[in-house]
Structures are given as C-alpha cells and as structure tokens.
Structure 1
Amino acid sequence: MAVGYFLGKRTLVFVLLSMYLLTLYFIHGYYSMLTYNRHRREPFERVLQDKEDMTSFSCSKLVAHLKKQSLMHTDAVLLHRLAKCKINIRNVNPTDGIHRTHLDKNRKRNIDNIRDSFSRKHLHRESKTDNEKNMVNNRNKFTRKQLQHTNCICNKKTDKAPLLVLFSTWSDNMSGRIRDNTCYNWRSLRPLVQPVLFTNSSSARRECEKNGWSVLPLRQTAAGGAPVLKVMFAEVLRRFNSTIYGFSNGDILFGENLLKTLVAVEETFGAEKRPLLLIGTRTNVVNVTSPEASSFSNLQVASKKRGKLFIHQSQDYFITNKAFPWSDIPGVVVGRRGYDNWIVINSILKQHTVIDATETILAVHQTTRKGIYEGHSRPYPDYNTKLLARYHKTIRYVAGSTRCAGIITKYSVKGNIFALKRNSVPKFCKNPYP
C-alpha cells in the first residue's frame, strides 16, 4: 500500500511538472513570435487613433478648410472625414466588396483607385452641390500618400502601375463556364491587379480584352503544348511595370482578401532586395456557378459550404517580386506535376523570403468531373520531373509543401493581416535532395 501510494504521488507530481513546463514553452514561443513580428518591421496595418470626435463635422466646413491649406501626409483625421463626404467618392456596401472595417485607415499604400472592383449598384450617387464640386476639384490634387487613409472607391481613372500583374493560360479543353467565371473574377480585382492571358486563340483574346484583360501570344511550349513558365514571367516583366508579378492556374478564383494580403506583403517586404515568393493552398469547390463567381461574398459563402482545403503539397499560384531569379529556373511547364514543389524547394534552399498565405488568401479551384488531379491525365505528365532529374538525381517533392515556408500570414482579432515567423517546420521539409 505504501509503495503504491508513493508511486502514485510521484506520477502526479511528474504530470503536474510536465504541464507546467509545456505551459512555459508555449508562452515563450508566443512572445517570441510577437517579438519577431514587431522588430522585423512595422506591423502590416495599424488602427487609426482618432484624436477628435468624428460625429461633429460638415462637408462645407471641410471644403473651406481645404481651400485655405494643402493637406499633408499627417492629416489622417481630416482625410478620414473626407471619405465620409458623398462627393464623387463611392463607398463600398459591406455586403459586396471590401468591408470598411477591414480596410485600414492608416494604410501606407493608397487603395483609393479600386474602382470597377465591386458591384456598382451599391455605390452612392454623386452629389451636385457647389461645395461638393469644389471638393472634387480639390480631391484631384491629392497625391497617393495623402489619400491613403480614405476607405473609399473612386471613379477617377488612373494610368498608374498596378500592384500585381497576374497572368495565366487556358487549356483548349477547359469549359466555357470556367473561363467566364475566371474572366469575371479577375476583372473584379482591377485596377490593383492587372490580369493577363497567354493564348493563341482569337476567341479567347476577344472575350478577355472586352473585360479589361491584357492578352499576349504563347511563344514557347513543350510537353504537348504546355506553356513554359519562365518564358511567360520574362514576358510580363518586360512588358508591364508593377511591384509584384504572379502566375495562377486558369481555373482559380480569388477572394477579396487577395488585395489585402498583397498590400500587407508589399508594405512589409517591399523594401527588401531579397527574392520573395508568395504561395498558398487552394480550396476545392465543386461546380462553382456563375452567381457564386460573380461576387466575392458569394464566393466566400460557397467555399465555406462546399469547399475543402486541398493537400499542402500542391500550389496553384506563385507571386514574386522583381528580384526573383526566374531566368535561373529550368524550363518547366505549367499543367504538369512536380514544378510547383521544386520552385518552393529551390527558393527555401536559396534563402529567399517564402510566405505561406493560405490562411489569408482564398483561392477557389473550380472542380469539375475531371477531378482534382487533371495534370496527371494530360500528355507527358512526367515532363517536369524528368527535366528536374537532370539537375538532381533524387528529389523529395514533399519538401516543397506550403508548410515548409518560413513565414505565414494570419488575421488579427481586429481583422488586419500580419506576418508571423513559423515556429518550426515539419521534418519532411529538411533534406530535399537525399
């Protein structure tokens, strides 16, 4: 009895001590991540601290103030008030488009020119008073930095460079409904995102150009007509002036959180000269309808009801900065297996900034009867793996998983997006070339 009681007491002490040590370990890891995020650079987004009461102001007084002085970058409160005046400024309805609570009022990058991104039926009509017309004239004089605090969508056209040039290519056997859904969805991301299609089809060219896409010819293919990825990247880098460039499969639809993630990533990592690679895992949704693809809110609902997150070894989009060395990448083709994992492996080994944005970017794969492994049934499915075998005899492709990225993006409690260093990566991420 005494021996059993003694052993039971020792076991209880051991369990309690283990729980105490585990608690200390998790607390230490949590604060280590916060310290990394705070000291790396400024947080992605801050919440505007209004110094004055936002309820007592009039647009007429604001116009009079604008006539007397020019706005400076520090006039955040005044600019926020300007956004509330319905003067040629189109405020987004919370049911369709970017939620006002999600658009940071202290954002460094201007996102006032996201017109055409969302449904016009929710936009306020233009007011016609004299004071409001004066406000419009004054507003046209503002710079991008001066207007960065406004939560608005403006109908003023701009020729400024987009934040992202996103390109794709369509296979000949892709259904027309999927093409139409992609065409409309990507058009909704303009003008922050400029969609580009590589094709030699005249019908696809006409349809996409009608919806604001840029269309370029396919210049180099392999493996039975599959486009070479590095050649397409070289072409968009040569033709377009943008901050970041990306490729996505043609059957992927994006949510509005793509824009917020891009702004956050550009603000935090834009000044870095190191190559940057943004990846993520898609969500498979069977039979996406046209109404579901027509708005971001409908797409979000469909993904929650019928969506299933795909395996982390598969990537359907690659977003990079100008420093990414695409010229050094082998001539892999899209639509065939293996190339996505190798690009992630190569980027990690070369110590590029690799970010897993699965948690903040909704990428919906329009799944059809063909299933979720269409690349395995196309001609020359092993083209990429055989090509990469010339460089490395054995490749553990699982090491190119999204879970092997060193940085992830997450939502804060207030709905802002921030970066976080991953505590640890799985064991299969190590030693990709055994």
Structure 2
Amino acid sequence: MPLITLFSAPKPFTNPHIAMIQRNAITSWTLLPDVEVILLGEEAGLAEIAKELGVKHLPNVARNANGTPLISSMFQLARENSNSDLLCIINADMILMPDFVENAKQAARLKEKFVLLSQRWDYDITSPLDFSAGWESGLRESVRKQNQLHRPAGSDFFLFPKSCYNDIPNFIIGRAGWDNWMIYKARLENWPVIDCTPSVMIVHQNHDYSHLPGGRSHYDHPDTNENIRLAGGQANIRYTILDSTHQLVDGKLASPKMTSLRFTRRLELMLRSIFFFLPEAMIENIARPKRWQKRFKKLFK
C-alpha cells in the first residue's frame, strides 16, 4: 500500500510548453517511492499521458459553469480511490524528488493531523528533463544556479492525512484564493501548519498564462471572486506560508524564524481578532495600513 496519493487536475496537453512541463512533473512523481498518482479530468491528452506513464486516470470530475474542475470533487475522488494514509493535492507543473517523501514520512511520525507545505523554487526550462541516473543532482545544481526561491505566498501542494479536509467548498482549481483558505482552515482547526522549505526542494517550472482568458494571471480571473466568496472573505485568503506554525528542519519540528514579514503578519492577525466586530472594509484599514499594504502587494504578485 502506498504511503502517499498525489492527485492533480492538469491543463490540456495542447500547448507544447505546458505539455512538456506537465510530462516532466508527472514523470518525476512516478519515480518516487511509496507514492501513487491520480490524474483528474478529461482535458485533451490527459488519458493518453496517464496510460503512457502508468498512473490512475479519473475523468469524471465535477466542474463549474465554465468547465473548470472543482476542488471539492477532486478531493472526493482522490479520497474514494486512494489506498494511502496521506493525500497530496499538487499542481501539475511541480517536480518532486525523494526528499519530498522523506519529509512527508517525518511529518506523519511527529503529528497525527497536519498540513505540509513549502516555498517553491521557480525554474526556467525549455526542454524535457532527462530522467536517467543522477538526474536529481543535476537538476538541483541547475535550480540553485538560477536562484529563484519564490516568496512565501501561493502554495503549489498540500499534503495531509486522510482525516483532514473533509469539508472542502466548491473552489475552482487554477484560480486564486483556495490555497490560502487551506492554510486558514488548518489554523482554524488547530492543525500544525508545517513548512518544510528548509528540508526539501520543490521545483516549479515557469510558464505563461496563455491558457487563461486574455493571458492574464489567475489573480485577475472572475472565478477568483467566487473563490474569495466561498472562502468567507478577503481576510481568509490572506493566509500564506508566513502563517505556518512549525518548520521541519533535520527531521524535527522547530518554531519558524521570526522575520519582519512574519512579525507584521502576526500583528495583523492580532488586530483582526481585537476589532472583529467592525465591518471587513474598516478592519482592513486598521489591520493593513497603506505602508503594510504596499509590502504585501509585493508579496502576492
């Protein structure tokens, strides 16, 4: 029985660059020990790649009116078709290496309920990866040379025990807000939010947004407003890796190092709890004065 089930809803394999980076990512997952992979949806080319790489394919994921998969359906299908104790929703452009599995095992040994996440390393890539012996060390060296550790905003995977996240709203995949809610939900339930950035390299293959209307980022997409509504408002989508409660370092849990951004975020949460009785717009002005808002805009870009 595999320890982890990775599940994802890839984009269509029609754009050559998107097709290449998704093939890179999914192939890397199939090489991991103690892992099974479930690909969700009926996008062009998905059934073929699932068959080629020998992974499970479930086409009947529920969608919104625009035909975009719903995260609630993704979670339900993964839960119903998984034999693993740990589930992990992941974007289909993320390359994983064996250190990911080791960190998942360590987190599971330390906590009964938790969510594991990390910052990603952004990576410019224009050709398929060669997965011959030693590919991980070559990739790590190339990624470090580009030196693009992403800011602690936006999360590309969430790993958690099956007992967590049983009540996911009908969020729309590929739009902003739902990933922030995942952290908010964990904090609300008092589950440890474990940042494993110091111990793992998760590689995001950079791409454009040509798959979205107008080629604009998902932050500007109308469906993002629906995600924000389902999340319960702007305050609940402010949560990022800055809100992690622990860091996983050398197999042990440690308190996250205090930084100016983390301190500012904790102060904001304290102010929101004090002025909870005020309208959201007024709380926003109190908790996020203009000098803070400029800093957080840079963080979320």
Normalised TM-score (structure 1): 0.55
Query: Is structure 2 residue 108 aligned with structure 1 residue 266?
Result: yes
User: Which residue of 1 is the match for residue 263 of structure 2?
Assistant: 426
For 2:126 and 2:100, the matched residues in 1 are separated by: 19
- Please give the secondary structure, in 1, of the residue aligned with 2:102: helix
User: Which residue of 1 is the match for residue 166 of structure 2?
Assistant: 326
User: 1:283 Cα shift?
Assistant: 0.9
Report the CA distance shift for 1:390/1:242 in structure 2 as closer, same or farther (over 3 A): closer
For 2:101 and 2:233, the matched residues in 1 are separated by: 40
User: 1:406 Cα shift?
Assistant: 0.4
User: 1:164 Cα shift?
Assistant: 0.4
Query: Is structure 2 residue 30 aligned with structure 1 residue 187?
Result: yes
User: 1:423 Cα shift?
Assistant: 6.0
Q: Is the 8 A contact 2:11 2:43 kept in 1?
A: no
For 1:351 and 1:339, the matched residues in 2 are separated by: 18
User: 1:217 Cα shift?
Assistant: 1.0
Task: Please tell me the residue identity of whatever aligns with 2:119.
Answer: T
For 1:258 and 1:403, the matched residues in 2 are separated by: 20
Q: Is the 8 A contact 1:277 1:318 kept in 2?
A: yes
Task: Please tell me the residue identity of whatever aligns with 2:150.
Answer: F
For 1:356 and 1:162, the matched residues in 2 are separated by: 23
Report the CA distance shift for 1:204/1:386 in structure 2 as closer, same or farther (over 3 A): closer
User: Which residue of 1 is the match for residue 188 of structure 2?
Assistant: 349
Which one has the largest radius of gyration? Answer: 1
Task: Please tell me the residue identity of whatever aligns with 1:179.
Answer: Q
User: 1:223 Cα shift?
Assistant: 6.1
Task: Please tell me the residue identity of whatever aligns with 2:187.
Answer: I
For 1:306 and 1:397, the matched residues in 2 are separated by: 30
For 1:393 and 1:369, the matched residues in 2 are separated by: 28
Query: Is structure 2 residue 150 aligned with structure 1 residue 316?
Result: no
User: 1:402 Cα shift?
Assistant: 0.5
Query: Is structure 2 residue 125 aligned with structure 1 residue 287?
Result: yes
1:246 pairs with one of 52, 75, 88: 88
Identity among equivalent positions (%) equals 20
User: Which residue of 1 is the match for residue 291 of structure 2?
Assistant: none
User: 1:394 Cα shift?
Assistant: 4.1
User: Which residue of 2 is the match for residue 366 of structure 1?
Assistant: 205
User: 1:165 Cα shift?
Assistant: 0.1
- Please give the secondary structure, in 1, of the residue aligned with 2:197: coil
Report the CA distance shift for 1:293/1:283 in structure 2 as closer, same or farther (over 3 A): farther
User: 1:237 Cα shift?
Assistant: 1.0
User: Which residue of 2 is the match for residue 176 of structure 1?
Assistant: 19
Task: Please tell me the residue identity of whatever aligns with 2:156.
Answer: D
Q: CA RMSD in A?
A: 2.7
Query: Is structure 2 residue 115 aligned with structure 1 residue 277?
Result: yes
Q: Is the 8 A contact 1:403 1:426 kept in 2?
A: no
For 2:141 and 2:126, the matched residues in 1 are separated by: 11
Which segments of 5 or more consecutive residues in structure 2 lack a partner in the other structure? 274-279, 284-301
Q: Deviations over 1:233-261 (max 9, x none)?
A: 11111111211001110111012210210
Aligned residues: 261
Query: Is structure 2 residue 250 aligned with structure 1 residue 408?
Result: no
- Greater helix content: 2
